[in-house]
Amino acid sequence: MSDLIRELELLGDDVQWPPTPAFTPRGAPAPPVRRRPRRALVIAIALGVLVLAAGALAATGVIHFGGATITRVDTLPPVDRAPRLALGTPITLREARGMLPFTLPPRLAHPDAVYTRDATINLLYLRDGRPHAILTVFREGRAILDKLVATSTKIRRVRVNGAPGLYVPEAHVVDFLYGGERRLSQPTLLWVDGNLTYRLESREALALASGG
């Protein structure tokens, strides 16, 4: 929220504030006008925004992040615990880069398979012949997926190579809006870089997305 405070400070410098009128009894000399420091006013406004935002989140239990929506629920709905992954049409990594200008963390630079579905890119990583991680990339302005997360799950704010992210550390339900059934998801890391949203599903998501 430091960026918001900085923007409000810059806005305060540009606004032409009217002079504060002095209300004094007739005949008494008017005291010098004392103006409230602008920085204090800006901080007060920013704190008010924070309180309102926190209250809205507590009331709705909904987080919008990039092209993803996270909804907190008391009980997760029943879903297939071992569904078939509907990743789309197989393509090459070069073709995928031609569709979206994404950047892969070093540990995810070599996917075992690449797919496309409804303008999204799905990169599959195998271990011992079984899915180990799935990285989905899509443009930020599109609403692509919904997540249902238990209210007890502690969602963490993180950074992925400097980009803002959210980490869901427990299993939850994911619903891709381009089709297919809701399914159980492993722990997931979301981050936004430029106009792209990244979703990495793996028990080792944080380690795989790190710059090392």
| pLDDT of the residue at 102 | 96
| pLDDT of the residue at 40 | 47
Q: How confident is the model at residue 61 (pLDDT cuts 50, 70, 90)?
A: confident
| pLDDT of the residue at 114 | 98
* CA 130 to the chain's CA centroid: 28
The rounded mean pLDDT for the chain is 75
Q: In terms of Cα–Cα distance, which of 20, 40, 47 is closest to 32?
A: 20
CB atoms within 10 A of CB 124: 17
pLDDT, tens digit (0-9, with 9 covering 90-100), for 62-110:
888 888 888 898 888 887 766 677 889 999 999 999 999 999 999 999 9
Q: Is 72 or 14 the better-scoring residue by pLDDT? A: 72
Q: Map the chain to HEC letters.
A: CHHHHHHHHHHHHHCCCCCCCCCCCCCCCCCCCCCCCHHHHHHHHHHHHHHHHHHHHHHHCEEEECCEEEEEECCCCCCECCCCCCCCEEECHHHHHHHCCCCCCHHHCCCCEEEEECCEEEEEEEECCEEEEEEEEEECCCCCEEEEEECCCCCEEEEECCEEEEEECCCEEEEECCCCCCEEECCEEEEEECCEEEEEECCCHHHHHCCC
Q: How confident is the model at residue 24 (pLDDT cuts 50, 70, 90)?
A: very low
Instruction: Determine the average pLDDT of the residues in 119-148.
Output: 87
Q: Is 38 or 161 the better-scoring residue by pLDDT? A: 161
